Each structure stands twice: as structure tokens, then as C-alpha cells.
Chain A
Amino acid sequence: MKFRGKIMDVACLNHFTRVITTISKLTKMCVLRLTPDNLFFVLSGKVANGGVSMWCELSQENFFDEFQMEGVSPEDNEICLEVTPENLSRALKTVQNAKAVKLKLTKKHCPCLTIAAELPTLSSVSRIVTHDVPVDVIPRRLWHEFKEPSMPDFDVSIYLPPLKTMKNVVDRMKNLSNFLVMEANLNGEMNLKIDTDLVSVTTHFKDLGNPPWGDEASQDRGPSQIRDPDAMAQTRVDIRKLQQFLMGQQVNPSKAMCNIVHERVVHLILLHEDVSLQYFIPAVA
């Protein structure tokens, strides 16, 4: 098992740091899957984390100038590590002005992701700062838990309003209630609702547009084609989970959308060029 990567470009380093920071806002622990082409940050929906799951996909060649890896075996050419994204993010933030950053899987007292940054100097002697972030290597037999989640058979898919507006609204609603109902229809309308003993609040977004999901998505899913465009699909979620998702946004996505499976799950997707982030919030009764 070997892994080493090198980032030389400042813009790539900044971008990579922002992605990791976003992930660190969403979860304390997650799994980093390394393949020859991609990096995946995965959180599988366990009860312990409130059933929330996450899937973040990065293409290595968009970030790394050098990327070498050797998986556990030629057939399973992958490495699966449990990491604390907060630690990675903190280490990366301190080396933002580095000339080059190397990421390496090392064995010190325990397995570590070693971040070695070459900092600029005025003299000819180079300065290298090294961070060792401890990780756990996940054995092959547990890998099946960290596969890409399948696209849910959603009732409604809709583009999200500006995330900042949504964040403001959700922040205030959080002060008033623990739960929030998210509902949307195929007419480009989305509502956020709370209802308590003291107050009921509904925020109406309209003209958001519904993403076209191509033929393969709709073909075998006839019902979504003939669905009444005004009919709302709704899911009641833990407001903190949604707030967390909105709070962590460091990457300004080019596309943000949401799929709702009626009374089952809210599936949020952010796309930004080479990065995609999926976040699943389960329904609460």
C-alpha cells in the first residue's frame, strides 16, 4: 500500500483546502478512499451520525501534479482510510503560501497522512513544515460500506435557491424549531416550513427550475413524467443537519440541487467543475 501526491499550484492548493474545510464542517470523521483517478470522502448513514450520509468526489488530476498510488492488491487497487477532516483542514490552512505540498501515507507510531510543505525562503536553505495526521486503515472486508450511494428514486428534483439566502432563512428557523419540512414540486417551487406552538413560518421560493435528468433517469421512472407539476413532495428533517450543510459551504457551487423522496430523504447535490458533493438527510417522523 503506497500513496504520495504533490500539489504545486497555489490555486489548486486553495481549492483543495476549501473542499476539505467544507467536509470538516459536515462531519467529524469520514472515510477517504483513494483510487488511481479519484479521491472520495465518504460518510455512510449510520444511526450514530443521525443517518446522514455524504459522498464527495474529486478527480485527482485536477488538483495534483503528481499522484502515485498502489492499492492493497492489483485487483483492489484502492486505499481506504478513516480520517478527521478537521485535522487535515487545519494542517492545510497553515501551508497556504507553500511552493509545493506533498501528501504521503506514512507509518510513524501509527499510520499517518503526512503533509510536507515547502515554504518560500529568502535564503537558499529550504524550509519544510511537516504535519502528521493520524489515520486508520480500513481493512478490505469493510469496504462495501463505503460504496457510492445510488441515486434515490426521487419524486421531485429542483435547483436550490442561492445558498446564502437559504442559510439565512434556515438559521432563523433553527432558533424557532428543531424540525423543518422541505417541500418542492415540478413547477420550480420550493417551500421551507416550520410549525411550533408559538409560530408557523413558511418561506416560498419560486422559479427555481427543475433539472432535466436525461432519458435514462426518467425512462424507467414513468411516474415522475406524469406527476402533477403542482403536487408537493415533502420531507421533514432535523433542521441542524440542513443548517450544517449550508454553514459549511466554502465552495461556491456552479450548480446546487435537491432531490426529494417523499417522506423518506432529502438528497442535496453540489457541483463545482471537478468536485461533486452529495449529502443525504433522512426524514424524521
Chain B
Amino acid sequence: MPLSTQSQGEDEQYVLVASLDHARNLSNILKAITFKDHAIFNATPNGLKVTVEDSKCLQANAFIQSKIFQEFTIKEDMVGFQVNLTVLLDCLNIFGGSTTPGVSTALRMCYKGYGYPLTLFLEEGGVVTVCKINTQEPEEPVDFEFCSTNVTNKVILQSESLKEAFSELDMTSEVLQITMSPSQPYFRLSTFGNSGNAHYDYPKDSDMMELFKCTKTQTNRYKMSLLKPSTKALALSCKVSVRTDSRGFLSLQYLVRNDDGQICFVEYYCCPDEDVAED
């Protein structure tokens, strides 16, 4: 049953229909937030928001705006459901997720509403796969109450520079300490591992630093194990915004450009590990 000949009548039953010429544009961004099986999907006329959480300390959100999709029809103000993300990714890559130019998997994603499975129609080279992924009751994502008015420090970096630092991070360290300050050392990443302590400093006038807006010296520690999943998002992204609020909560926002040059966002929120006395 080719995608194009989907009967109109069938479409009318769906509360959500989203089509993509390249399923990779969705699977790639979902990979950036895959660290737990359960993903909460929230669709609004603006697009799709996918949330993954770990032990109420870490939350990752992927935003895929409706204009990224070739078709995005939603019949309600908000449609929510929860699915197994690993299963969804296996389905999206059913044809191998080939990166060969000219070969791509087309996707049509449909949802009839509460209690129904999420149905995917995938097509590549005339072969059609239909996947019905069972949905679960959507959980309420944790509200980290991270609001821009409480942001004390913010830097925007070219991802390139952070990728380098993250690839060299001492993973034997239990925490990553982030220092942001209007004076020296401006922006510092520190690890405390088996082979000693390490600091990575970024000067505020570096080419890699697109924006530097720090109002107060702040030093916070974050569990390395919690930050590790965010490196998947970092790897895909071209820019990253690092923000901390007055409570020491960390927000990492990644700007991801897909194969078609469109922009999506991935956002990670992380709780601080413990308070460090400010000097």
C-alpha cells in the first residue's frame, strides 16, 4: 500500500498525521535524546516535542517544528502519548537508515487518539513497511521551572569547541564542575578523576564564544553520568547555549541542522549535584 494511495477516508480518522520525505530527519534528532526507553510525545499545531527523563534529575526535549514536516495535520490543540523510543528508532531505521544520496526512507506517522497505536508507514524503493507501536498513558514531564528571567549566566559556543573538550573529559571523574564568571576564569570545565584534576578554560573573547553574558560567579557540579547522554546531542549540533539559573540548574540548548538545512532544537536540563561554597 504505497503512501500516496492512502485513502482520504482513512486519514480523517487520525488526530495527528505527520509526513517526512526523509525519515532520517526525525530519527537523527531522536537519537540525540535516547538514553531511556520511554519518550513522551506532545504534539501541538507548532510541532512535535519529545521528552525523555532520567530519575527526575535529567530531562531532554527535542523540538521538531511543524514546518520541518512536509505535512503536519493536527485535529486537537494538543495530542499526547508515550511510546518506547528504542522501538520507534528501530522502526524508523527499518530499511537500514542508509546515508547514500538518492536513497531515503519516506515516512508517514499517524495517530488515531487515546488507546490507539502510533502507526508508521515507511517506504523506500517501492517497499512499504507498516509499524504499529503500542502507546502508553503519557506521564507528566517534570517541570524544572527553568525560566529565562532567573538565568544568571549564559554563554553560546560553537559546538566544535565543546565537542573537543567533551571528548577529552576524564570520565573517571564522578562530576563535571562548571564555573561561569564575569571575571577570570570566565568559563571553566573541571573534572576530578583518578589521574588528577583537569580544567578547561574558555577565554570570553574566543572566536568560539558567540555570546558571553555572565553576571555572577557561579560554580556547580553535575553528575557525569547524567551529562553523558547529552554528548549525543552535542555531536549533532552546530551551536550550544549553556545557561545556569540562580538555583544552579543547568540548561543546555543545542541547535541542530538537519540534512535539508532546517533547524531543530534539543534541550537538556540537569540538576546540580551539590552546592559548592562560592568563593
Residues of A at under 8 Å CB distance from B?
161, 165, 168-169, 171-173, 175-176, 197-207
In the complex, A198→B130 CA distance in Å? 14
Contact B96 A168 (CB under 8 A): yes
For A201, list chain B residues within 8 Å (CB). 91, 94, 129-132
Contact B127 A165 (CB under 8 A): yes
For B90, list chain A residues within 8 Å (CB). 172, 175-176
Apart from A200-B132, A201-B94, 17 more pairs, CB < 8 Å: A168-B96, A172-B94, A172-B96, A175-B86, A175-B90, A198-B87, A198-B133, A199-B91, A199-B117, A200-B131, A201-B91, A201-B129, A201-B132, A202-B130, A203-B128, A204-B127, A205-B127
Residues of chain B at interface, number, CB under 8 A: 23
Contact B84 A198 (CB under 8 A): yes
Contact B96 A204 (CB under 8 A): no
Chief secondary structure at chain B's binding surface? mixed
Residues of B at under 8 Å CB distance from A?
1, 84, 86-87, 90-91, 93-96, 98, 117, 124-134
In the complex, A44→B130 CA distance in Å? 36
For B124, list chain A residues within 8 Å (CB). 165
Given A204-B1, A204-B127, A206-B126, decide whether A169 and B95 contact each other with a Cβ distance below 8 A. yes
For B132, list chain A residues within 8 Å (CB). 199-201
21 contacts between A and B (CB under 8 A): A165-B127, A168-B96, A168-B98, A169-B95, A171-B96, A172-B90, A176-B87, A176-B90, A197-B134, A198-B134, A199-B91, A199-B131, A199-B134, A201-B91, A201-B130, A201-B132, A203-B128, A203-B129, A204-B130, A205-B127, A207-B126
For B128, list chain A residues within 8 Å (CB). 203-204
Smallest CB–CB gap between A93 and chain B, Å? Answer: 27
Given A161-B127, A198-B87, A198-B134, decide whether A203 and B1 contact each other with a Cβ distance below 8 A. no
